[in-house]
């Protein structure tokens, strides 16, 4: 990540994050639904910064990566990861590993002992990445209809 900058989300990053996520969705024939599944992108500071954390990766002042952490179940010391997206140009570059390392370190620092999250079944490359990072999946999935087109998600977890 020598020419990339990892930093906390800033309020003026919203358009760049929405564009990044939309670009990834378009690879699968989909697009961002700010009135449904992606409404959190309209107010990242309230949704993520107030409760967990959100980071972006910049290349030449353009957002090419994002990741966020949220509390999930305080009784189980469990958090969730959201919005891990990378521009196609950054996949395989080590950028994803840096974002995941940041999120795992933050989760541990905040006292979490487990991470659980759901990932769109279409993101097969991402699923292989999650497994390389130590996340497990038992094939559990759920049907989702809050996007512009229906989709399914797989469940992943890791004990910290």
pTM > 0.75: yes or no: yes
Q: And the tokens for 37? A: 């599944």
In the prediction, which pLDDT does 147 show? 87
Domain ranges of the chain: 4-115
CATH 3.90.1150.10 describes domain 4-115: no
Mean pLDDT of the chain: 92
Note whether 77 and 113 are within 8 A (CB).
yes
Q: Shortest CA distance to 133 belongs to which of 153, 104, 111?
A: 104
Q: Is the pLDDT of residue 85 over 90?
A: yes
Average pLDDT over every residue of 112-127: 95
């Amino acid at each position: 990540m020598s020419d990339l900058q990892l930093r906390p989300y800033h309020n003026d990053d919203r358009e760049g994050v929405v564009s990044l996520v939309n670009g990834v969705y378009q690879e699968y024939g989909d697009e961002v639904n700010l009135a449904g599944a992606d409404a959190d992108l309209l107010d990242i500071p309230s949704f993520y910064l107030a409760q967990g954390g959100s980071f972006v990766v910049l290349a030449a002042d353009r957002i090419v990566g994002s990741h966020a952490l949220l509390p999930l179940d305080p009784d189980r010391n469990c958090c969730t990861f959201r919005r891990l997206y990378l521009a196609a140009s950054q996949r395989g570059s080590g950028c994803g590993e840096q974002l995941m390392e940041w999120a795992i370190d933050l989760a541990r620092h905040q006292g979490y002992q487990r991470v659980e999250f759901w990932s769109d079944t279409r993101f097969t490359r991402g699923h292989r990445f999650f497994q390389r990072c130590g996340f497990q999946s038992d094939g559990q999935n759920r049907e989702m209809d809050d996007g512009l087109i229906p989709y399914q998600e797989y469940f992943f977890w890791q004990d910290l």
